[in-house]
Structure formats: C-alpha cells, structure tokens
C-alpha cells in the first residue's frame, strides 16, 4: 500500500496545476503579461521595450522561469508601438517562441518611430508560424479560452455568451477626436478559465471601446480587468469599464505614463470594484489618486526593481493577487 501511495503522489506531481497563473510584468509603463494555462501552455501578450540592456526581455524570462515556463507557446502582439512590440527581437533571442499572432500590418507606415518598431518585428515574424487574427477568432491556448474581440479597427458584432445587456451609460457617451493610428487598431481579448473572466484590451482607444460597450455590452462582466492603455485618459471610458463591472483591476502604468487621474477615478468608481492594484505609483495621481502602498508594486522610479504583480486563479472564479515587492497578497472569492 505504501508503495502504491508513493507512486500515486509521484504521478500526481507530474499533472499540470489546476490554476491559471498571470504575471503582470513591469516593463516601465509598457505592457507585457504572461498567462500560464493549467495545461502548461503559455501565452505572452506584448513584450515591452527594446534596448535598456535587454531589461524587458530579461524580466519576461525571469517571470517565465518563476512559472516553470521554458518557451512562449503563443506570442500575441496587440499593436506596434515600442512599449508593446519593441522587445520582440530581444525576447526571441532569449526564449523559444511557438507562434505569433497580431492584427496584420502597421497602420502608421508614415510614422518613422512606429516603423522603427514594426520593421524589426516583421522580420522576426517571417521566421515563425504566424496568424493575423480578427474579431471573432480565438487563440488556441489549451485549458483556457481566448476570444479576440477587437483588432485592426473592427469589433465583434454579436455579444459573447452571457453578454448583450443594454448599457444605460451610453446616453452620456462623448467621443474623442478619432485616432487613425495603432491604438485604435489594437487587439483586445476576453480570457476565460472556467467561470473566471478577464478583460485584456491592449491599448484600445476610447472610440473603439464604444463599439464594444454601446448600445449593448458585447463583452459581459469580468472578474479581472487588466486596465486598457496603462490607465491613460484616452482609454477606459466609464461606458466600457463600468459595463465590465470588474471585481479587481491591475494597472500596467509607469511612474509618468498612464495612471491618469481620469482613468484612475473611472476605475475606482466602477460598481462592484473591490481593489485596484498598480505596477507603479503614479506621479500624476499624487496623494489622492493612488491606491495604498501595499497594492503598488513599484513605489519610486528612482529605486525601481521591476517588481511584478502575480495572479493565481481557479476555475470557480476565486483568485489571489500578489505584490512581488512586499509579498502582500489578497484572495477574492465570489
């Protein structure tokens, strides 16, 4: 009997953990989020910046090592700004990548700064399996569902399962000046693990969010909101954020990028929100528009160790958020 129990425990140890692990990696006001499915497959959304002595690629690799991940199975690039796609060449030099997903070619071909990011990225993707995804497509990560809901300026036309409710805030919506560039064409995704739902909309612009939120909410509610566009004032409209009705939000801001008073206030005022976590203290937010220090991973740009925020999630909707700077964690249950 003892031998049987030993063999059983050894076999059980080889089974994949029945949790979804998420790492909001600090790429200094850029974006890079690692999702590790219960199946063991990994999806990385965006890679942060190039340069900086491989800083962002090193931080991604460190997060992957912490998760026991030796390769990125699915690399998703939401759009071609330097804080999202700049680090791709450095990442692939450091870690194996399976397949690359994006929204197609650049929408800023006359912008030299964007082209300086897109051209090296395009050279990399020629060497890998690649797929241009559109609203309504899925990214085939085993163990979770990843629905593409926006991309290349388009949005899904029909509600996701459980969505489709009228949005009363649409009556007060005011559009911003149109953005013809990459942010308006960003990929956006809803990620589902059992009953847990996560919104990760890249840098989707305010006006394009409106197509998902009005006149009806096409996305439904979520448990975790990975804040759009670092918490800048041109994304995260009340019509979108309040329709999502998140229990928890994680803001991938920098000290002087994102974390705007406007976006922060919208999130803090979202009905049902229990907590907002921030990758950085926002200098714009000051004393009145930042969360408590225990919920902030990096308190000062002058002494910035690049701490991440980690999430361990369960299929029943429960999840734990952890601040790597101080070890503070909190569990959320329905």
How many secondary structure helices (H) and strands (E) does the chain include?
8, 20
Give domain status of residue 52, yes or no. yes
Give domain status of residue 1, yes or no. no
Give domain status of residue 254, yes or no. yes
**Percent of the chain whose predicted confidence (pLDDT) is above 70:** 95
Give domain status of residue 165, yes or no. yes
Give domain status of residue 25, yes or no. yes
Query: Sorting pLDDT into bands at 50, 70 and 90, what band is 16?
Result: very low
Query: Sorting pLDDT into bands at 50, 70 and 90, what band is 13?
Result: very low
> Which is higher by pLDDT, 90 or 12?
90
Query: Sorting pLDDT into bands at 50, 70 and 90, what band is 15?
Result: very low
Q: What is the domain-level CATH number for residue 186?
A: 3.60.15.10
- Judge whether residue 103 has pLDDT over 70: yes
- Judge whether residue 296 has pLDDT over 90: yes
pLDDT digits (tens, 9 = 90+) for 153-175: 999 999 999 999 999 999 999 99
Whole domain around residue 231: which residue ranges? 17-332
Query: Sorting pLDDT into bands at 50, 70 and 90, what band is 300?
Result: confident
Overall number of domains in the chain: 1
Tell the burial category of 285 from Cβ atoms under 10 Å away from its Cβ (0-12, 13-18, 19+). buried
- Judge whether residue 12 has pLDDT over 60: no
- Judge whether residue 27 has pLDDT over 80: yes
- Judge whether residue 29 has pLDDT over 70: yes
Give domain status of residue 5, yes or no. no
DSSP E strands: which ranges in 264-308?
Answer: 275-280, 296-298
- Judge whether residue 8 has pLDDT over 90: no
Contact predicate 73/64, CB 8 Å: no
Confidence (pLDDT) at 304? 82
DSSP E strands: which ranges in 227-326?
Answer: 248-251, 275-280, 296-298, 309-313, 319-323
Query: Sorting pLDDT into bands at 50, 70 and 90, what band is 273?
Result: very high
Write out the two tokens for 312: 């361990």
Give domain status of residue 3, yes or no. no
- Judge whether residue 4 has pLDDT over 80: no
Confidence (pLDDT) at 52? 95
Give domain status of residue 86, yes or no. yes
Give, as one character, the DSSP assignment of residue 219: S
Confidence (pLDDT) at 124? 98
Instruction: Work out the average pLDDT over 306-329.
Output: 98
């Amino acid at each position: 009997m003892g031998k049987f129990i030993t063999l059983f425990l050894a076999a059980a140890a080889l089974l994949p953990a029945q949790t979804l692990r998420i790492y909001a990696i600090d790429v200094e006001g850029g974006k890079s989020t690692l999702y590790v499915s219960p199946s063991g497959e990994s999806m990385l959304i965006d890679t942060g910046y190039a340069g900086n002595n491989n800083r962002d690629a090193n931080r991604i690799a460190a997060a992957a090592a912490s998760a026991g991940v030796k390769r990125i199975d699915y690399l998703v690039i939401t759009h071609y700004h330097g804080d999202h796609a700049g680090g791709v060449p450095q990442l692939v030099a450091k870690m194996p990548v399976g397949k690359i997903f994006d929204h197609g070619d650049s929408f800023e071909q006359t912008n030299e700064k964007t082209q300086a990011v897109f051209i090296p990225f395009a050279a990399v993707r020629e060497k890998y399996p690649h797929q241009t995804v559109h609203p309504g497509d899925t990214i085939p990560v085993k163990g979770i569902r990843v629905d593409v809901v926006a991309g290349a300026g388009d949005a899904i036309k029909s509600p996701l399962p459980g969505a489709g409710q009228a949005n009363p805030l649409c009556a007060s919506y005011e559009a911003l000046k149109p953005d013809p560039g990459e942010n308006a064409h960003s990929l956006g995704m809803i990620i589902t693990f059992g009953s847990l739902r996560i919104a990760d909309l890249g840098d989707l612009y305010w006006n394009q969010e409106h197509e998902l939120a009005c006149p009806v909410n096409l996305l439904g509610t979520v448990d975790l909101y990975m804040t759009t566009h670092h918490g800048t004032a041109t994304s995260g409209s009340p019509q979108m954020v309040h329709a999502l009705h998140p229990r928890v939000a994680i803001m991938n801001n920098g000290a002087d990028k994102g974390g705007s008073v406007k976006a922060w206030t919208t999130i803090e005022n979202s009905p049902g929100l229990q907590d907002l976590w921030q990758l950085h203290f926002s200098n714009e937010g000051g004393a009145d528009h930042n969360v408590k220090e225990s919920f902030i991973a990096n308190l000062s740009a002058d002494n910035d160790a690049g701490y991440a925020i980690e999430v361990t999630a369960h299929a029943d909707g429960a999840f734990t958020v952890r601040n790597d700077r101080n070890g503070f964690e909190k569990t959320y249950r329905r």
